A and B are shown apart, each in its own frame.
Chain A
Amino acid sequence: MITRRFTRVDLTNATEDYLLKVGEEAYISFNNVSSIPLRIATTNDTFYELHLLNSNPGTNSNILYGGVFLFPNNTVYDNIRVSVIYRSSAGHATIYYLEGPGFPIGASFFVAIAWLINRKQYKNVRTVSNLYGYSLYFPLYWEASTDWGDTTTEWTSLGTIVYPAPASGEIIVRRLM
């Protein structure tokens, strides 16, 4: 049996993109900011796992409404599509379709895991996240699959995560392939 352990690179204060090797993970801590550049270079035929944990408590009094998006290449493109499944503990599910400029990875305060595929013909992010702090429907499970429909633009920088308001937390990005 082969045991693999991820080697960690701290990119919290990175000022330029770092190309993760397979088996490496990036760690990024952010504090009271609404825009977090991941500073991770990416190439064709790569696959990543991203973990995001907000440290904000997310109570009803400070709830932050709005989507949190990853913008590939640190750029807001107009040709990304998304389908979303949205569930609550109140016993009903909502399924809907969205069009938008970024990869949605959560909303408000949340913990999320996302899988990012970068292939020229298939650029996709799938996310599973749990929102917390919403009154009456807490916890709230949410998942999304987003295709970036553009097959000509290359995905060269993993991107920037943007919140609707300042937030704090930690991000781990692992390169799996």
Chain B
Amino acid sequence: MRVWAYVNEQGTLYCALLKESVPENVRAVELEVETPDDVVLDNSQIRIKTEQEKLETMKRDALMELKMIISSLLAPTDYILLKITEAQALGEDIDPLLSRYANELSRRQAIRRWNASMKAAINAASTREELQLVLEQVRSRLTFSSE
């Protein structure tokens, strides 16, 4: 897509998506980009992100998505940890709770192991295509908690 990037009086980078949306008295740079996010201001120069920068942005978003998914997978069993913590605080024996919730605790450990492996795979991806494959794995495990 085509964008017209410019810097306003406050030094902030903006991208117009239509040429006529560029304010008057502003010098805009016309660029062909994949998304408006691809434009950056670097030492007062407007330029397109490098492939490495695009990969880093995608990794940041992927890690955030993974974090959200992990959080949603763990949340339904968070109450178990509260019960155990409360029992500990009251000096009670927690073994009956560990035994009662053994399956849930084991599933939480599996989720955390999966989180660690996905995080490592995201960080290790060397191209956006490689990262896309990892993301597909992440998204395909959204039903983890029901397995």
Residues of A within 8 A of B (CB): 34-35, 37, 65, 71, 73-78, 86, 88, 90-94, 96, 101, 134-137, 157, 160, 162, 164
Q: Are the C-beta atoms of A75 and B143 separated by less than 8 Å?
A: no
Interchain nearest-CB distance for B28 vs A (Å): 11
**Is there a chain A Cβ closer than 8 Å to B52's Cβ?**
no
Residue of A nearest to B141 (CB): A136
Q: Are the C-beta atoms of B18 and A94 separated by less than 8 Å?
A: no
**Is there a chain A Cβ closer than 8 Å to B142's Cβ?**
yes
Q: Are the C-beta atoms of B72 and A94 separated by less than 8 Å?
A: yes
Q: How far is the CA of A71 from the CA of B142 in the complex (A)?
A: 30
Q: How far is the CA of A86 from the CA of B71 in the complex (A)?
A: 12
| CB contact between A78 and one of B12, B21, B145 (< 8 Å): that residue | B12
Known A-B contacts A92-B73, A135-B140; A162 and B21 likewise in contact (beta carbons under 8 Å) = no
Known A-B contacts A88-B142, A137-B142; A94 and B69 likewise in contact (beta carbons under 8 Å) = yes
Query: Chain A residues with Cβ under 8 A from B3's Cβ?
Result: 76
Query: Chain B residues with Cβ under 8 A from A157's Cβ?
Result: 21
**Is there a chain A Cβ closer than 8 Å to B68's Cβ?**
yes
The 9 closest A-B pairs by CB, nearest first: A76-B15, A74-B21, A94-B72, A76-B36, A160-B17, A74-B18, A74-B17, A92-B72, A90-B143
Looking at chain B's contact residues, the main secondary structure is helix
Residues of B within 8 A of A (CB): 1, 3, 12-18, 21, 35-37, 39, 64, 68-69, 71-73, 75-76, 132, 135, 139-140, 142-143, 145-146
Q: Are the C-beta atoms of A65 and B18 separated by less than 8 Å?
A: no
Q: How far is the CA of A71 from the CA of B14 in the complex (A)?
A: 11
Q: Are the C-beta atoms of A73 and B1 separated by less than 8 Å?
A: no
List 9 extra interface pairs beyond A160-B18, A162-B17, CB under 8 A. A35-B1, A35-B17, A73-B21, A74-B18, A75-B17, A75-B21, A76-B17, A92-B73, A136-B143
Q: Are the C-beta atoms of A92 and B21 separated by less than 8 Å?
A: no
Count A-B contacts at CB 8 Å: 71
Q: Which of B12, B17, B72, B75 has the most CB of A within 10 A?
A: B17
Known A-B contacts A92-B75, A162-B35; A137 and B14 likewise in contact (beta carbons under 8 Å) = no
Q: How far is the CA of A162 from the CA of B146 in the complex (A)?
A: 35
Query: Chain B residues with Cβ under 8 A from A137's Cβ?
Result: 139, 142-143
Q: How far is the CA of A36 from the CA of B49 in the complex (A)?
A: 23
